[in-house]
Amino acid sequence: MRSLMAVLCVVGVIVAIWYAACVPMNIKGVLTEAERGGAIVTPEGAKDRRDIAATRLVMDNSFAIPATWAQDRPRLPAPHQVAIELWQTTVMKKITSKRSLVFHAWVTLSATLLGFAIGTGLGILLAVGVVHSRVMDMSVMPWAIVSQTIPIIALAPMIIVVLYSIGVQGIIPKAVISAYLSFFPVVVGMVKGLRSPDMMQLDLLRTYHASKAQGFWKLRLPASMPYLFTSLKIGIAASLVGAIVGELPTGAVAGLGARLLAGSYYGQTVQIWSALFAAAILAACLVGLLGVIERATLRRMGMA
Amino acid sequence: MVLVAFACALWALGWWANVRLAEGPASGTKAVQLLVPVLFGATVLVVWELVVRGLEVPLVILPAPSLIAVRFANSTPVLWDDFVQTILKGALSGYVIGCVAAFGTAVLVDRSDFLRRGLLPVGNFMAALPIVGTAPILVMWFGFDWQSKAAVVVVMVFFPILVNTVAGLRETSVMQRDLMQTYAASYWQGFFKLRLPAAMPFIFNGLKIATTLSLVGAIVAEFFGSPTIGMGFRISTSVGQLALDMVWAEIVVAALAGSVFYGLVAMAERAVTFWHPSQRG
């Protein structure tokens, strides 16, 4: 309960700082508009104001403060503007509409989930191979670890264009990027997990005369579950980033990444922020969902 | 077709050699542990080259490694300029600012139990979000040059380091802190002599995660607008020109920079946390 209070406090402070930051960030635009509307602004003329510090302008023109939270295309939209935009583009629009964020979020989510499923599946398979074959362990594992230190996402534009040139478009290229990004965390985590049973436990199975397959199904796989879920959470977040970034270079028309890009082209800041928050909510839901599955699974297995 | 068959044969040969090495008597030695992955990597490269040549895969789909190497060697000035712009100016300055800011915040947060309870879940939550998405906003605020890339990197590395540092500063046991108290150690003495060293493995964990994130942030932010220089810019424009050998050359640079950066942080970790069990093995 105390933690909840503390979290709410911190969130409240962040929102307050956000509102406060809107004032100096937006003041210049607001003053220009107000002057055009006939209000008296000190000093007059946008040119004179250009080099004056924003805080000074705020102090001299305190009447304009409320307007900084209600601008049409602010540099920094106020929280309620983002919230209203989110509400309007999710609940108020039909979900088939091109302007609905639910539609865009689904485009991104479908690529994310497909890629995540592929990446996780292949990752687990490779991890099983690595654990059972010394050659694979020694040849592949160092590369898997090194590959985590490189910005794989730099490959995203190329993957899209290459797949496009051989006639693959739509969801698949984005899913490939998502799969690629979630693949390596799963491999590394799963190998760690499959190796987590200690000598005593392995020896016990040997005294039972268990076969290798039995050892895998009854000891290694169950023991790897906590590690698997940890890396799945990292993997799904990476998948989502991959799907969003995968939408950038092609000038895609649908998806959260496309909304970000369109917003940045046309200066629609509120749209950028709402797309960003939609992505954040989506990520939080996905990670949260995995957390629920993790807890249920581990409780069922008697590990939590 | 001959080349492809040759590639298959070579693959089998490489694999056989690795099997012999890995299951042979010398498999435990350092040299073999290094040799096996190198052999594997070299085999992959050669097979790639042979398959691309044998099947005459067009350049716009997959350039042969030799072509990439030639391109890399021929355009080192461009690659170096891009490296300076993206990695040294964008990623590195953002990394340093983000790390210092996160560390400072963590030390402040650590003094108050209330703040820690509040900020830790929020920080954990933020660390899982697709923060690269802030790139268009920050590019709008800070302009096209490296400052906006550094800003993206600051936001990206901040939360992982914050969360890890706060967790690390909690790592000491009550006994240890009591011992400090019996020595009449002040807060800062206890901090520098006990809690900060104990937190180092955690802090370095955060720093290592942040190395990759910083490169990702700097490169992706350039997709949203950049001067006509930089790795992200070069990648997106070269993709547009279908000059995939250039793209691959930039990816090689990114891979090298990422591994070296990570390696340097890992070396620093080894030097600082030499006492930790994970480093002694």
Contact check, Cβ <8 Å, B137/A153: no
Is residue A125 located within the same domain as residue A44?
no
* Nearest residue, CB atoms, A244 vs list B114, B130, B258: B130
Task: Extract the tokens encoding A34.
Answer: 């107000």
Residues A158 and A243: their CA atoms lie apart, in Å, by: 14
Residues B248 and B63: their CA atoms lie apart, in Å, by: 8
Residues A97 and A262: their CA atoms lie apart, in Å, by: 16
pLDDT band for position A251 (50/70/90)?
low
Decide if A87 is inside a domain: no
* Nearest residue, CB atoms, B259 vs list A75, A135, A149: A149
Contact check, Cβ <8 Å, B61/A139: no
The tokens 């990648």 sit on which residue?
A: B235
Q: What is the CATH number of the domain that holds A250?
A: 1.10.3720.10
Contact check, Cβ <8 Å, B18/A154: no
Is residue A127 located within the same domain as residue A246?
yes
CA distance A22 to chain B (A): 13
Distances (CA, A) of B217 to A44, A272, B68, B135: 40, 17, 25, 8
Decide if A230 is inside a domain: yes
Q: Is B45 exposed, middle or buried (CB count within 10 Å of its CB: 0-12, 13-18, 19+)?
A: middle
- Per-residue pLDDT tens, chain B, 281 aa: give them: 788 888 888 888 888 888 888 877 777 778 888 888 888 888 888 888 888 888 888 877 888 889 899 999 998 999 999 999 888 888 999 999 999 999 999 998 888 888 888 888 888 878 777 888 888 888 888 888 888 999 999 999 998 899 889 888 888 889 998 999 999 999 999 999 999 999 998 999 899 889 988 998 898 888 887 888 888 888 888 888 888 888 889 988 998 999 999 999 999 998 988 888 777 75
Which residue of chain B comes nearest to A287, CA vs CA? B128
Contacting residues of A for B219, CB less than 8 Å apart: 151, 153-154
pTM, 2 dp: 0.85
Q: What share of chain B is helix, strand, coil (3-state, %, to 5)?
A: 85, 0, 15
Is residue A69 located within the same domain as residue A108?
no
DSSP A42-78: SS-SHHHHTTS-HHHHHHHTGGGHHHHTS-SS-SS--
* Nearest residue, CB atoms, A75 vs list B141, B224, B254: B141
* Nearest residue, CB atoms, B247 vs list A158, A241, A244: A158
Which is more confident, A179 or A152?
A: A179
Contact check, Cβ <8 Å, B23/A233: no
Report, as an integer, the average pLDDT of A49-60: 76
Which residue of chain A comes nearest to B129, CA vs CA? A280
Contact check, Cβ <8 Å, A279/B61: no
Is residue A151 located within the same domain as residue A10?
no
Is residue A212 located within the same domain as residue A260?
yes
Q: Which domain holds residue A9?
A: 2-76
Task: Extract the tokens encoding A213.
Answer: 């397959």
Q: Which residues contact B183 (CB under 8 A, 6 or more apart)?
A: none
Q: According to the model, what pLDDT value does residue B264 have? A: 93
As a whole number of Å, the CA-based R_g of chain B is 24
Kindly provide the residue ranges of all beta strands, DSSP E only, lying in B178-231, ordered along the sequence: none
Contact check, Cβ <8 Å, B133/A279: yes
How do residues A134-177 score in pLDDT, each as one tens digit? 888 888 888 888 887 778 787 888 888 888 878 777 788 889 88
In chain A, what's the furthest Cα-to-Cα distance? Answer: 91
* Nearest residue, CB atoms, A151 vs list B36, B139, B212: B212
Decide if A83 is inside a domain: no
Measured distance between the N- and C-terminal CA atoms of chain A, rounded to whole angstroms: 22
Give the H or E element holding residue B274.
none
How do residues A186-228 score in pLDDT, each as one tens digit? 998 898 889 888 888 889 998 999 888 888 888 888 888 888 9
Is residue A57 located within the same domain as residue A146?
no
Is residue A288 located within the same domain as residue A205?
yes
Q: According to the model, what pLDDT value does residue B1 have? A: 75
pLDDT band for position A293 (50/70/90)?
very high
Is residue A204 located within the same domain as residue A246?
yes
Spell out the domain ranges in chain B: 2-57, 72-280
Q: According to the model, what pLDDT value does residue A168 have? A: 76
Contacting residues of B for A11, CB less than 8 Å apart: 122
Q: According to the model, what pLDDT value does residue B281 have? A: 58
Q: What value, to the nearest 5°, has the Cα angle with vertex A48 and ends A47 and A49?
A: 90
The tokens 């990816």 sit on which residue?
A: B251
Task: Give the count of domains, chain A.
Answer: 2
pLDDT band for position A252 (50/70/90)?
low
B191 and B242 Cβ atoms separated by less than 8 Å: no
Contact check, Cβ <8 Å, B39/A139: yes
Which of A36, A60, A76 corresponds to the end of one domain?
Answer: A76
Is residue A22 located within the same domain as residue A161?
no
Is residue A48 located within the same domain as residue A167?
no
Contact check, Cβ <8 Å, B22/A143: no
Contacting residues of B for A279, CB less than 8 Å apart: 129-130, 133
Helix (H, G, I), strand (E, B) or coil at B204: helix
Task: Extract the tokens encoding B197.
Answer: 């060293």
B198 and B164 Cβ atoms separated by less than 8 Å: no
Please state whether A169 falls in left (phi above 0), alpha (psi between -120 and 50) or beta. Answer: beta
A22–B contact, CB cutoff 8 A: no
Contacting residues of B for A270, CB less than 8 Å apart: none
CA distance A78 to chain B (A): 14
Decide if A92 is inside a domain: no
Contact check, Cβ <8 Å, A273/B136: no
B134 and B219 Cβ atoms separated by less than 8 Å: no
Decide if A95 is inside a domain: no
CA distance B184 to chain A (A): 31
Distances (CA, A) of B246 to A103, A162, B86: 36, 14, 16
Contacting residues of B for A14, CB less than 8 Å apart: 122
Task: Indicate the fold that domain B72-280 takes in CATH.
Answer: MetI-like fold (1.10.3720)
For residue B237, the number of C-alpha atoms closer than 13 Å in the C-beta half-sphere is: 12
Q: According to the model, what pLDDT value does residue A250 have? A: 63
